[in-house]
Structure 1
Amino acid sequence: MFTRKFAALAATTTLALGFGATPAFGQAFYLQEQSVRGAGRAFSGEAADTGSQSLWWNPAAIGGQTQASGALGVSVILPHGRLVDTGTRIVRPGQLPAAVGGNPVARNPINNGALPSGSVAFPITDRIAVGLAISSPYSFTTDYDAHSWARYSADRTSLRTIDVQPSVGVAVTDNLRIGGALNIEHAKATLSNALPNLSPLLPDGSQQLNGSGWDLGWSAGLQLHNDVATLGLAYKSSIRHKLNGDLAVSGLLGPLAGSNTTLNGVDATFRTPSQIIVAGRYRATSELTLNAQFVRFGWKKFDAIRLGAPVNQALPQNYRNSWSLAGGVDYAVSPALTLRAGVQRALTPTRDGQRDARVPDSNRWNVGVGGSYALSKAFTIDAAANYVDFKKASVDRTTAAFVGTPAQTVILTSGELQKAGAVVLSLGGAVHF
């Protein structure tokens, strides 16, 4: 039992960090690329627009829809940046602080990726429609070099979510649409990091955690509109995720060798943020539509990761609530061609003094351009390109391995996120039938 408990404590650092783990392109580990149309205007006005492409932001978007419709898109995410060691120290028991060693610069640790999304909606009557949106709102992969200075906080991390959102929208009156939805979400995580042996002359050990689970949330919204303007209000609930999996610890030597083991049935629970969304669209002329959107993220829900037996600990995360604000335009060049552009400002929920190598997130600007071309009355091609610029930020959260045991080893992290950004290219199509 001591061996199981000791090995579980070795995992404390990994579990505390692994489920929220990289600068994504919405906020922290949230991905907002759920619509190619929306990407072209930097995700402004989505909760006030209509059709299945806006279902993720507001289920009222399909209320009163009289034709069946669907959309499918993919966003290719090409991030770049580096994490630089600025003096990280390791404190082994009974030893003075020493340089952590390893490669002092981690270049492009965030993997390129492709993020698909799709949606469909069908009218039941001239006022009621049902729809389904499938998305991946929290997904990423980071991969650090095995000899990176950040190896004790992060090695390889992968999080994949699949969100299935069945929705219903109702046109209550000619000017009011309402909607509701369930968010059935599957999460799967794999994460690993190095473990320090007691002697700096020994090679590192390692640990890897795998877990998955299905959980449930909900969305609701309304839209008020007249001939020239639409106001959209929506709420997406936080989802409490419980992942069940296994933990493998290996490579520990000397006095720690007895802790090499595999633990099954390890549970970890955490919460994704709620969202309050306020959006508007205004048709300034027959060709020009102005868009705006504000999102308040309830990241305080991600206050801790709570670990079940045999660890039985709550590990503080201390995220703060944050927001994004976007503005953009749609311009109808012709009945077939619409061009878009927009800009978005978003603040990170991570805090100075508590930011680590798995979450080197920072405030960012997102600039987008795009357009749609109707090949026929039934089929439209959408395309967009975005550039996300991340502000330089400190990576400075103190972590530890073997917490609460005589072998407790502290990592005094001191690093910096530099020259970080991402190009996001999106392509999709929409159909009416």
Structure 2
Amino acid sequence: MSFRTKASLLAVSALVSAFGFESAASANAYYLQSQSARGTGRAFSGEGADTGAASLWWNPAAIAGIRDGSAAIAATVIRPKGNVIDNGTVIGRPTFNPNIAPTYRPVGGNSVSRDPINNGIVPSGSIAYPLTDRIAIGVAVTSPFSFTTNYEANSWARYSADKTRLRTIDIQPSIGIAVTDWLRVGGALNVEYTDADLTNALPNVLATLPDGQQSLSGDGWDLGWTAGVQFHNDFATVGVSYKSSIEHNLKGNLVVSGLVGPLAASNRTVDGATARFSTPGQVIVAGRVRATNQLTLNAQVVAYNWSKFDAIRLGAPLNVALPENYRDSWSLAGGFDYDITPKATLRAGIQRAKTPTQDGLRDARVPDSNRWTYAAGASYQLTPHIALDAGANYIDFANTTIDRVTAAYVGTAAVTPIITNGYLKNAHAIEASLGGRLSF
């Protein structure tokens, strides 16, 4: 095997880990739903059926037929906690002799990584304006796929996850049309910027040698779309919308360093490295029912086609597809809004969400699991044109396994399998959201 071929295979191995975007965020896998302080307070149980700029991300029909201009801003602080624990992970270092199988030994390092997911702030904003009494335009700016993790340099999980930073900015220009008094439709374009910085450790041949390092940074702009409808009568609203999958194309630089001995020739920099993957589409069905003059009941179900994230496809000169095998998943939420005075509203909600990650395929890039979300919040109409919103969530993650088998230097004589055996334990997150709505 030529040096060029070996180096390319080593680069493939590095990119496998570098583009693994699994996350235990506040919603479903690495999707963040915290795009509204009002929504945070009711566990996102009625956003697709509500009206005004604050619901624009979920359904562009939300702005159809508005009488005045409206704007909404929010910022959500997320504080995740949890332990990622080794339960017997082993590594098989190469013998370079095809007749001698590798001997597996404990991976070593710190066996408990506490709170590897960093605290974060998720900003969002939207604005809408009526062109006529039936047609309105608007734009929402959100960050739907964002997280940062930071494992210790000597963590047991260092070969599958070290430091990860993923940021997205989604700009959604939208139009909403009130076709009749009871039917509203909307459409939007999603212009999404993605920026990623990721690092992993690479094992050297001998356990006594320091680890090598791989790092990748890349970014790109990509497009998707959203369409929705709302059905209104005097006491109920039903909203249905679809947010398309977005195929992301990242271009950046990959650096492999710190390898010594027989692996030293594989240290390299790859300029213009590319990767392609798809985030999930969403079908959102929501309803709001005015049960009394003061009480409104909310419900929302979201179906995610996470199976779109089936593989990470690496471009030239590597030209390989790396399986991810996510499965479709869903979330179901219920909640209420209660007007205690003409100016003050209390709300609460609960949400159940299933993870798209599968047992046997879950790694420590940031682990994900099934979760319950418990929410409470309030709004206050400060003036006829200004309302303040606040909400809080407690998210309880189920304990789960971290068990994805990986390997470094696949396809070479230096192939080094790593049989991961760990688990996520005592994981939870607290979210606090503050925002405001303005009419003009």
TM-score by length of 2: 0.97
**Aligned position for 2:98:** none
Q: Deviations over 1:47-102 (max 9, x none)?
A: 00000111111000000011000011100000000100000000111230010000
One-letter amino acid of the counterpart of residue 92, structure 2 = V
- Seen in structure 2, the aligned counterparts of structure 1 residues 3 and 121 have a Cα distance that, compared at 3 Å, is farther
Take 2:398 and 2:282, find their aligned partners in 1: how far apart are those partners? 23
**Does the residue aligned with 2:62 lie in a helix, a strand or coil?**
helix
One-letter amino acid of the counterpart of residue 430, structure 1 = R
Further displaced range: 9-18 or 123-132? 9-18
Q: Residue 435 of structure 2: which of 422, 428, 433 is its match? A: 428
* Cα deviation, residue 16, structure 1: 2.9
Note if 1:63 corresponds to 2:64.
yes
Asked if the contact 1:4/1:261 (under 8 Å) is kept, the reply is no
* Cα deviation, residue 9, structure 1: 2.6
**Aligned position for 2:290:** 283
Further displaced range: 414-423 or 5-14? 5-14
- Seen in structure 2, the aligned counterparts of structure 1 residues 387 and 8 have a Cα distance that, compared at 3 Å, is farther
Asked if the contact 1:71/1:118 (under 8 Å) is kept, the reply is yes
Take 2:94 and 2:264, find their aligned partners in 1: how far apart are those partners? 16
Further displaced range: 122-131 or 20-29? 20-29
Take 1:209 and 1:7, find their aligned partners in 2: how far apart are those partners? 16
Asked if the contact 2:117/2:366 (under 8 Å) is kept, the reply is no
**Does the residue aligned with 1:9 lie in a helix, a strand or coil?**
helix
**Aligned position for 1:387:** 394
Asked if the contact 1:4/1:259 (under 8 Å) is kept, the reply is no
**Does the residue aligned with 1:133 lie in a helix, a strand or coil?**
strand
Take 2:110 and 2:12, find their aligned partners in 1: how far apart are those partners? 24
Q: Deviations over 1:249-296 (max 9, x none)?
A: 100000111111111011100000000010000000000000000000
**Aligned position for 2:258:** 251
Note if 1:314 corresponds to 2:324.
no
Q: Residue 339 of structure 1: which of 346, 349, 363 is its match? A: 346
Q: Deviations over 1:203-240 (max 9, x none)?
A: 10000011100000000000001010000000000000
One-letter amino acid of the counterpart of residue 343, structure 1 = I
Asked if the contact 1:28/1:359 (under 8 Å) is kept, the reply is no
One-letter amino acid of the counterpart of residue 166, structure 1 = P
Gaps of 5+ in 2: 96-101
Take 2:57 and 2:13, find their aligned partners in 1: how far apart are those partners? 33
- Seen in structure 2, the aligned counterparts of structure 1 residues 206 and 7 have a Cα distance that, compared at 3 Å, is farther
Q: Deviations over 1:362-418 (max 9, x none)?
A: 000001100101110011111001010000000000011111111111110000000
**Does the residue aligned with 2:57 lie in a helix, a strand or coil?**
coil
Asked if the contact 2:149/2:366 (under 8 Å) is kept, the reply is no
Q: Residue 103 of structure 1: which of 97, 100, 110 is its match? A: 110
TM-score by length of 1: 0.98
Q: Deviations over 1:106-148 (max 9, x none)?
A: 1000000000000000000000000000000000000000000
**Does the residue aligned with 2:383 lie in a helix, a strand or coil?**
coil
**Does the residue aligned with 1:375 lie in a helix, a strand or coil?**
strand
Take 1:249 and 1:276, find their aligned partners in 2: how far apart are those partners? 40
Take 1:190 and 1:5, find their aligned partners in 2: how far apart are those partners? 26
**What is the root-mean-square deviation of aligned Cα atoms in Å?**
1.1
Gaps of 5+ in 1: none
* Identity fraction in percent: 61
**Aligned position for 2:53:** 52
Q: Deviations over 1:176-215 (max 9, x none)?
A: 0000000000001110000000111111000001110000
For residues 25-424 of structure 1, the aligned pairs below 5 Å read 25-94=26-95, 95-424=102-431
* Cα deviation, residue 309, structure 1: 1.9
One-letter amino acid of the counterpart of residue 22, structure 2 = A
